[in-house]
Amino acid sequence: MKLIDWKNKHTSIDLNGQKLSYIDTLEGEKVLFIIHGFATSSFDYHKIIDQLKDKYRIIIPDLIGFGLSSKPKNYYYSIIDQASILSSLLVKLKIYEVSVMSHGYGSCILCEMMSLNLSNNLVLKIKNSILLNLSLTLELSDDNNELESHGKMISQGILKISISFEMFKKYIRESFYRKESISDEDLKTSWELINLNDGLKNLQFSDYFIAECGKFGNKWLKNIHENDSKVYVIWGKNDQYGNIQTPLKIQSFMNLDDKNIFLMDECSYFPMLEKPTEFAEIIKNIDL
């Protein structure tokens, strides 16, 4: 899909002094709210929207600093900021009950949104949470050394993709199980989305995000543990970035049934791009 076609599907709203751009399919009782990961955008989900929109109302924001949303200059838009702006968006749209799906960095934001709820500021009910690859990996690290090495891996990965388009293509393809499952056109669009409004500079803040995880990891675990929301895990088995142990850790930490864990074969960090049909089927079958 070309950038221009993708732009046409987006709506935008001014919130807290920022322009927040998002996909909203408008129709449907049940809302599925999707939070993308670091250095990516709502574009990750373009292959599954059509399949899911019959059953749910799909809302996918581009986080501040990414995709088509505004990109503040020399400003670290923290996880706590992201959580407040997303909560404000839901309040503006008059949505009080949602299911949330989150990928990596997005899961930190999800946990922080739960914390905003706990402190009595909002009446937003998060009914279901679907965690994708890399979720809670940093938070559930066994000790500081493990957290540090996960953190390093993430910053290195982000550094590699931000060098040039050629490097971006090479390393994004490497995080796919089958390199051919992403087309050149889609890669070009993703690259353009990162580069819009000088957005490449924002990637330098990956270290801040890892520091924030180290600081608030325990609190976030507590939030998601105490929240009433039902938790599901969908994880590409061949992920080279996220530790494959993590889904099992999440399962034992949250006391989840086996039927809540979906491990996808021959699939890596981007299950929604690698096996979109199968991925969408799993979500359709979960009773959100």
Taking the complex as a whole, the smallest distance from the CB of residue 188 to other proteins amounts, in Å, to 32
Q: How far is the CB of 176 from other proteins (least distance, A)?
A: 30
Residue 212 interacting with other proteins (CB under 8 A): yes
Q: Answer yes or no whether residue 219 interacts with other proteins by CB under 8 A.
A: yes
Which contiguous run of DSSP H or E holds residue 234? strand 230-236
Task: Verify binding: residue 144, other proteins, rule CB under 8 A.
Answer: yes
Task: Rank residues 17 and 287 by Cβ distance to other proteins and give the closer one.
Answer: 17
Among 253, 261, 282, 286, binds other proteins (CB under 8 A): 253
Rounded to whole angstroms, the Cα distance separating 132 from 103 reads 5
Whose Cβ is closer to other proteins: residue 96's or residue 208's? 208
The two tokens of residue 20 are 């927040």
- Contact of 32 with 286, CB cutoff 8 Å: no
β-sheet bridge partners, residue 11: 22
Q: What token pair was written down for 128?
A: 């279901």
Look at residues 56, 41, 74, 85 and name the one whose alpha carbon lies nearest to residue 195: 41
Which of 11, 16, 149, 164 lies at the binding interface for other proteins (CB under 8 A)? Answer: 16
Going 188 to 191 to 195 to 196, the CA torsion angle's sign is positive
Q: Does the footprint of other proteins cover residue 222 (CB under 8 A)? A: yes
Which one, 51 or 251, has the nearer CB to other proteins?
251
- Cβ proximity to other proteins: between 8 and 120 the closer is 120
Return the sign of the alpha-carbon dihedral for residues 195, 81, 112, 140.
positive
Nearest Cα to 150, choosing from 105, 113, 202, 111? 105
- For residue 138 the two structure tokens come to 């940093």
By CB under 8 A, tell whether 120 contacts other proteins. yes
* Residue from 13, 187, 221, 256 in contact with other proteins (CB under 8 A): 221
| Cα 113 from chain centre | 13
User: How many residues form the binding site for other proteins (CB under 8 A)?
Assistant: 37
Q: Would you count residue 116 as binding other proteins (CB under 8 A)?
A: yes
Q: Please state the closest distance from residue 151 (CB atom) to other proteins, in A.
A: 14
The single residue among 153, 211, 282, 286 that binds other proteins, judged by CB under 8 A, is: 211
Taken in order 259, 263, 86, 56, is the CA torsion positive or negative?
Answer: negative
Q: Which of 20, 10, 262, 31 shows the shortest CA–CA distance to 132?
A: 262
Nearest distance from C-beta of residue 217 to other proteins, angstroms? 8
CB closer to other proteins out of 147 and 267 = 147
Which residues are within 8 A (CB) of 232 and not within 5 positions of it... i.e. 6 or more apart? 128, 129, 130, 131, 260, 261, 262, 286
Q: Both ends of the chain: CA-CA distance in Å?
A: 29
Window 61-100: contact mask with other proteins (x via CB under 8 A) = --------------xxxx-xx--xx-xx------------
Q: Which is nearer to other proteins, 49 or 122 (CB)?
A: 122
Q: Which residues bind other proteins (CB under 8 A)?
A: 16-17, 75-78, 80-81, 84-85, 87-88, 115-116, 118-122, 140, 142-144, 208, 211-212, 215-216, 218-219, 221-222, 225, 249, 252-253, 255
